[in-house]
Structure 1
Amino acid sequence: MATSIPPAPSAPGQLPRPSLSQTVDVETPELVVLSYTLAGVGSRATAALIDYAICIATFVAVIIAVLQLQVKFGVAASRDSSGAWVMALLGVIQFAILWLYYVLFEALADGQTPGKRIMKLRVVKDGGLSVTFEASAIRNIVRAIDLQPIFLYAVGLVTIMSNARGKRLGDMAAGTIVVKEDLVSQPVTPRRSSRADARADTSKPVPLSARLTDAEFQLLDRFVQRRMEFDAERRTQLAAGLAHRFSAKLTQDPAQLPIAQLVRLHDTELAARAQGAAARNDTGAAREKHRIVATNAPRWASFANTLKSAQGGGLSTLGEDGVRRFVQDYREMTADLARLRTATRGQESSDLFYLNRLVAGAHSLLYRRRTFTLRRLITFLFADVPAEVRASGLPIAIAATLLFGPMAIAARAVITHPSVAATLLPQGMLARAAKGVEDAKRGKGYIEDPEVYRPMMASQIATNNVQVTFVAFAGGMTAGLLTCWALVMNGVSIGAALGLYISKGIGSLIFSFIAPHGVLELTAIVLAGAAGLLLASGMLVPGNRTRRAALVQRGGRAFRLLAGAVFLLLFAGVIEGFVSPNATLSLQTKLAVSATSAVVLAIYLFYRPRAALPATARLAP
């Protein structure tokens, strides 16, 4: 009867490469290939659940605070504006929990949310470098598509499992991967049993080759390590089978049982490998692999301890001299990794896996992204964003057509046939228009909310509009279908509302409300739509690039358009909350605000100082 030896647990001091784990290779600036272990669906899901729990707990705390403040300020809101300001602030906090939790943690904590930190996961760029704010924002805004349907994350799970690099749609757009970051805490110094130590004779030269191949030694090693787990009969059967297989390598001593001969052979082979002897049948560079490990294992262990300390507190904890030594050691480690990879000839090895994890950890630490500064933010908003707007004329023109075309058609349809409004608009808008006829006669404005509520209004309007632009951007990952739908439906809604008020003879009522903020808000909608279309073009029309490279490159460009849209919406929200509903301001005054915003917007987008020309040049596709 054939016998087999069950897989053994890892030997002390060794870490076997996970056989079921997916890995991805990246090349460092030192031209050394690193293998990262991709995070599995289970660990990512667990990290997500932890983050969800944190978000929900924070959200509940905010809701409780809102309810308490409503009790305190609600009745006296007309006399005390502090309550409205607090409510507005809480609205912004809720928005931040929903959209900014992941972005800020990943961008500021080097790719780790609290959930990912607990699960020892990290988001990195495809090249192994630290994730940037831009990449973090892109992957987490596209989460709006990944979590469909209704927070069940079915889209994300399907794409992760069907992608060789475990990417969801957000990772594809951002050019990121999620990797495991377990650092081996024990060095891989080859094991030597006490029996082998006792028999070692340092006066004898190290043998050039061991008597067993690596595969044979692994088989023997598994048996010796687990022999006591078998009952006596099973142990005897396995020992007899192995003794027959290794008969030519065993010391033929009739006084010894087969199991004793196998243990002695194991100790001899273990001692030889610990001193760097090559395995039998190894040729060329492969003969060096055990010697590389035996010679350098102490230095690797020391580097592992330094790396663990630096990962906990940053490179600054090492001091100037320590950082200099760390960089020097890192370069030596990359050379060791290249030599060991050549010696193992691409085969899986616990030593190679261990050394790869050390170098990968140091690589991520050394090439961590620069600190985000106020100066960089200003450069981004006032140089990069306008430059991208000027460079993206085609998607902007298409987005404008999809917005203003349906807007004009819907407005004309409702003006010509007012009954069409009931099909295109919700009942609430129809009722507001009917009431608007009477309000216009009394000299009232489009909205008659008390002035004290305007901070809260501005907060709600701004956060809602920003979320709409996020959806339009993320819709680019549906090949642009969701983006086009969002633009068309927004155009129809706005056009139908305008047509309804005009058909009732109160067009000035809605124009006086829209005019102050309309220029900024409509421009922002167009930019967000253009961002989604630009993202979709990376999937549909990659040009000379691969589809993956085009998607990442245009995703970065699209993010700049989206950032411009959000920037404009912040100002539009303030104007819509404080100026647009103010009935004491005349239509001429509001038109003047509109004209001023248009002039400022034109200067912002199209004024090209000489210093901005390099920014434009680097955006060329």
Structure 2
Amino acid sequence: MDLDAYQAVHAASWQRLDELTRARRRTGAEADELVRLYQAAATDLSTIRSAAPDPETVTRLSQLVARARAAIAGTHEPSWRDVVRFVVSTVPAVFYRLRWWTVGVMVAFLAVAVVAGVWVATNPDALDALMPPAAQREYVDNAFASYYDPGIGFAATVWTHNALLTALCIGTGITGVGPVYFMWANAVSVGNIGGMMAAHDALDVFLTLIAPHGMLELTAVFVAGAAGLKVFWAWLAPGPRTRGRALAEEARALFTAAIGLVGVLALSGLVEGFVTGSDLLWWVKILIGAAALAAFWVYTLVLGRRAVRAGETGDLEADRAGYSLAVAG
């Protein structure tokens, strides 16, 4: 194929296509012309690639075809707008929709933890079953406090570990067993440690080291448990929706909760990494932890309520989810 002759024949249509792609507004006839010229240019590009693959021509025509495709399909809004909408609308809406589930999980968690703690603290056999007496004393006097080693490395480790566990809790929600086991195991663990510390007259040490970061960290755990159980409930009791649609809608929305909890746990990790083990006064540490928890609930209740009232669910829009089709007119 004579590439120069081919370009001479099609140059006018390529130039016209370039003009139409650069136009800010187009009439209906121009839009039809744009589509027609785009299809022709795409064919021309394929022909040149197969018959006379000149790099310069292929590059120039590829860019033209790509711009024309964007002009026809429309460009997506800037990604930063998506990020802002996700942070100030989508995530808080999901947290808001989970608020009562979160409170329910919290009450059950604390009940189990308190029962486990009282049992260990008042039952010598249960206490010794945790670890030998010498190991208990070492843990109470040194190991528990030394665990909270201030620094960015410790904060990052705690963050990634907790984020993974909460994601698994949500991800296994459809089983119904995963979230329950996750909540139960964590509640019993917290209760056992608290009970052992109390049995050795160190409950104050336990509370002052757990409270600063634990208020927000445990709230994130409660949200994860609530999200997982809500997925299971959507499958068990879909209501007026089909079971498949109910499960899909809740799972997509609550996957947003998993992403949102990454940010919540990052803040909790910073508190645990730089506040809990620091030399600050104990009441200052707790005040910082309480402020972090208050910030979470203000974020959830204020922004979340506003987003839900505006129709935000955390799920995809109906057309993107495949539940509605675009129609003309």
Superposed pair shares fold, TM > 0.5: yes
Of 591, 603, 610 in structure 1, the residue corresponding to residue 286 of structure 2 is 591
1:417 maps to which residue?
A: 123
Give the partner amino acid of 1:382: V
Alpha-carbon distance between aligned partners in 1 of 2:67 and 2:277, rounded to the nearest angstrom: 63
Are the structure 2 counterparts of residues 445 and 551 from structure 1 closer, same or farther at C-alpha, using a change threshold of 3 Å?
A: closer
2:153 maps to which residue?
A: 456
Question: Which structure is higher in helix share?
Answer: 2
Are the structure 2 counterparts of residues 411 and 559 from structure 1 closer, same or farther at C-alpha, using a change threshold of 3 Å?
A: same
Larger Rg computed on CA atoms: 1
5+ residue gaps in structure 1?
1-297, 328-365
Looking at both structures, which has the greater relative contact order when contacts are Cα pairs under 8 Å and sequence separation is at least 6? Answer: 2
Query: Structure 1 length normalisation: TM-score?
Result: 0.38
Secondary structure at the residue paired with 2:201? coil
Alpha-carbon distance between aligned partners in 2 of 1:457 and 1:620, rounded to the nearest angstrom: 32
Of 273, 298, 312 in structure 2, the residue corresponding to residue 618 of structure 1 is 312
Q: 2:184 matched to 1:488?
A: yes
**In 2, are the aligned partners of 1:391 and 1:620 still within 8 Å (CA)?**
no
1:347 maps to which residue?
A: none
Of 129, 137, 162 in structure 2, the residue corresponding to residue 434 of structure 1 is 137
Per the TM alignment, residue 460 of structure 1 is displaced from its structure 2 partner at its CA by 1.2
Q: 2:193 matched to 1:497?
A: yes
Alpha-carbon distance between aligned partners in 2 of 1:593 and 1:400, rounded to the nearest angstrom: 21
**In 1, are the aligned partners of 2:90 and 2:314 still within 8 Å (CA)?**
no
Q: 2:229 matched to 1:533?
A: yes
1:549 maps to which residue?
A: 245
Secondary structure at the residue paired with 1:542? coil
Alpha-carbon distance between aligned partners in 1 of 2:149 and 2:103, rounded to the nearest angstrom: 39
Alpha-carbon distance between aligned partners in 2 of 1:484 and 1:450, rounded to the nearest angstrom: 31
**In 2, are the aligned partners of 1:388 and 1:616 still within 8 Å (CA)?**
no
Alpha-carbon distance between aligned partners in 2 of 1:380 and 1:555, rounded to the nearest angstrom: 17
Per the TM alignment, residue 403 of structure 1 is displaced from its structure 2 partner at its CA by 2.1
1:474 maps to which residue?
A: 171
1:396 maps to which residue?
A: 102
Give the partner amino acid of 2:89: A
Alpha-carbon distance between aligned partners in 2 of 1:450 and 1:620, rounded to the nearest angstrom: 37
Per the TM alignment, residue 367 of structure 1 is displaced from its structure 2 partner at its CA by 8.6
1:446 maps to which residue?
A: 145
Per the TM alignment, residue 447 of structure 1 is displaced from its structure 2 partner at its CA by 1.4
Give the partner amino acid of 1:302: T
Q: 2:69 matched to 1:323?
A: yes
**In 2, are the aligned partners of 1:516 and 1:593 still within 8 Å (CA)?**
yes
Secondary structure at the residue paired with 2:158? helix
Are the structure 2 counterparts of residues 435 and 614 from structure 1 closer, same or farther at C-alpha, using a change threshold of 3 Å?
A: closer
**In 2, are the aligned partners of 1:487 and 1:529 still within 8 Å (CA)?**
yes
Per the TM alignment, residue 511 of structure 1 is displaced from its structure 2 partner at its CA by 1.4
Give the partner amino acid of 2:113: M
Are the structure 2 counterparts of residues 616 and 567 from structure 1 closer, same or farther at C-alpha, using a change threshold of 3 Å?
A: farther
Per the TM alignment, residue 599 of structure 1 is displaced from its structure 2 partner at its CA by 2.4
5+ residue gaps in structure 2?
1-38, 51-57, 316-329
Secondary structure at the residue paired with 1:545? coil
**In 1, are the aligned partners of 2:197 and 2:206 still within 8 Å (CA)?**
yes
Query: Structure 2 length normalisation: TM-score?
Result: 0.69
Give the partner amino acid of 2:220: A
Q: CA RMSD in A?
A: 3.7
Alpha-carbon distance between aligned partners in 1 of 2:304 and 2:236, rounded to the nearest angstrom: 34
1:100 maps to which residue?
A: none
**In 1, are the aligned partners of 2:213 and 2:289 still within 8 Å (CA)?**
yes
Deviations 1:485-525 (A, max 9, x none): 11111111111111110111001112121111011101100
Per the TM alignment, residue 398 of structure 1 is displaced from its structure 2 partner at its CA by 3.7
1:465 maps to which residue?
A: 162
Deviations 1:508-555 (A, max 9, x none): 112121111011101100111111112222321222222221111001
Are the structure 2 counterparts of residues 317 and 589 from structure 1 closer, same or farther at C-alpha, using a change threshold of 3 Å?
A: same
Alignment of 1:166-185 (within 5 A): none
Alpha-carbon distance between aligned partners in 1 of 2:66 and 2:260, rounded to the nearest angstrom: 40
